[in-house]
Amino acid sequence: MSKPRLDDATGVETVGHEWDGIEELNNPLPRWWLWSFYACIVFAIGYSVVYPAIPMLNTATAGTFGWSSRGDLDKEMKAESLRTAAIRSELDKASIEQIATDPRLRRAAIDGGRAAFKVNCIQCHGNGAAGSAGYPNLNDDDWLWGGDSAAIHQTLVNGIRQPGDDATRMSMMPAFGRDGILTAPQVQDVVSHVRLIAGEEKPSASAQRGAEIYTANCAVCHGANGEGSRAVGAPKLSDAIWLYGGDRKALTQTITNARYGVMPSWGNRLDPVTVKMLATYVHSLGGGEAAPAPAADPAAPVAPATVAQ
């Protein structure tokens, strides 16, 4: 090391190092900067002791504060359940019809139902509840078993064709083709007739033949004009909505082999409040029907034209 000297151009002392003629000016850092640096080191040591820091084989050191992000989540979830406890107990006490008529309860149930739907229902019914072939679209106004809040609630609680649930609802359409009740040409005639009453095809000789077969075999559940029956879960055939598709191929398949879609019963999987919230949410998707008016009530209440606060 050479000796420090004064640099001509700047009037600053050099530190005395020289590498190939390059020297360094001695512009010392302020000492408080050094102290801040030491303070940071001390802080870092303290931080590594009290918080999880040092990676070990399987996990990191726990830290004396016992902090963890899971613990944070746990706290948040507890706080959230505490926050919603009041409204949940109200929803618990209220019947599904009471929830439907109380705007505040209804709004809370819809919000909670939306969250529960995302966890439990979208696997089959889709994120937007639009369903797909075999899984009903919950946004529309076509309901196999009824579209008022109570009917949706019952479907949710007991499911459809849920094995082992005595109260589950089921319809057993015969497999007309596979079981030999109808021949393959007869099945095609029925397809023609069904598509005619749905407005998908023009009248034909096949449809005319199919009408007779329909009256003999199908009308008992689906109604003389294909209006369906919610009592037995028979789909309406005259509308624009098809659960498994309305083209000839899909209908042939349906009539030949029948379809037995299963909806799980949720009454034994989710708590009653969540089921009520789900029913209210599904009812709110745009196809929900008003509760059937009691016999004594002359008319259903007129829907308000103004959006309530």
CB of 33 to other proteins, least distance (A): 7
* The one among 10, 26, 89, 183 contacting other proteins by CB under 8 A: 26
CB of 30 to other proteins, least distance (A): 6
> Which residues have C-beta within 8 Å of that of residue 92, sequence separation ≥ 6?
272, 273
Q: Does 239 bind other proteins (CB under 8 A)?
A: yes
Q: Does 50 bind other proteins (CB under 8 A)?
A: no
* The one among 151, 236, 264, 275 contacting other proteins by CB under 8 A: 236
Q: Answer yes or no: are the C-beta atoms of 141 and 147 closer than 8 Å.
A: yes
Q: Which two tokens stand for residue 6?
A: 């004064």
Termini Cα distance of the chain: 83
Q: Does 216 bind other proteins (CB under 8 A)?
A: no
Stated length of the chain: 309
What single letter denotes the amino acid at residue 123?
Q
Window 121-160: residues binding other proteins (CB under 8 A): 126-130, 137, 139-142
Q: Does 299 bind other proteins (CB under 8 A)?
A: no
Segment near other proteins (CB under 8 A); pick from 150-158, 186-194, 255-263, 285-293: 285-293
**CA–CA gap between residue 129 and residue 132 (Å, rounded):** 9
* The one among 10, 12, 25, 34 contacting other proteins by CB under 8 A: 34
**CA–CA gap between residue 180 and residue 183 (Å, rounded):** 6
Q: Does 23 bind other proteins (CB under 8 A)?
A: yes
3-class SS of residue 84 = helix
* The one among 10, 12, 16, 245 contacting other proteins by CB under 8 A: 16
Nearer CB in complex with other proteins: 195/270: 195
CA dihedral 50, 55, 70, 115 (to 10 degrees): 150
Nearer CB in complex with other proteins: 86/241: 241
* The one among 134, 199, 203, 272 contacting other proteins by CB under 8 A: 199
Segment near other proteins (CB under 8 A); pick from 24-32, 42-50, 174-182, 257-265: 24-32
Q: Which of 188, 185, 173, 172 is nearest to 252 (CA)?
A: 188
CA 231, 129, 161: angle at the middle one, nearest 5?
35
Q: Answer yes or no: are the C-beta atoms of 203 and 196 closer than 8 Å.
A: yes
**CA–CA gap between residue 240 and residue 238 (Å, rounded):** 7
Q: Which of 122, 120, 84 is nearest to 105 (CA)?
A: 84
Q: Does 222 bind other proteins (CB under 8 A)?
A: no
Q: Does 101 bind other proteins (CB under 8 A)?
A: no
Nearer CB in complex with other proteins: 10/208: 10
Q: Which two tokens stand for residue 17?
A: 């190092």
- Interface size with other proteins, residues (CB under 8 A): 50
* The one among 30, 164, 180, 294 contacting other proteins by CB under 8 A: 30
Output DSSP code: residue 218.
Answer: T
Q: Which of 53, 288, 266 is nearest to 151 (CA)?
A: 288
CB of 16 to other proteins, least distance (A): 6
Nearer CB in complex with other proteins: 128/163: 128
Q: Which of 98, 111, 95 is nearest to 278 (CA)?
A: 111
Instruction: Give the footprint of other proteins on this chain (CB under 8 A).
Output: 1-8, 13, 15-16, 18, 21, 23, 26, 28-34, 103, 126-130, 137, 139-142, 199, 236, 239-241, 284, 286-287, 290, 302-309
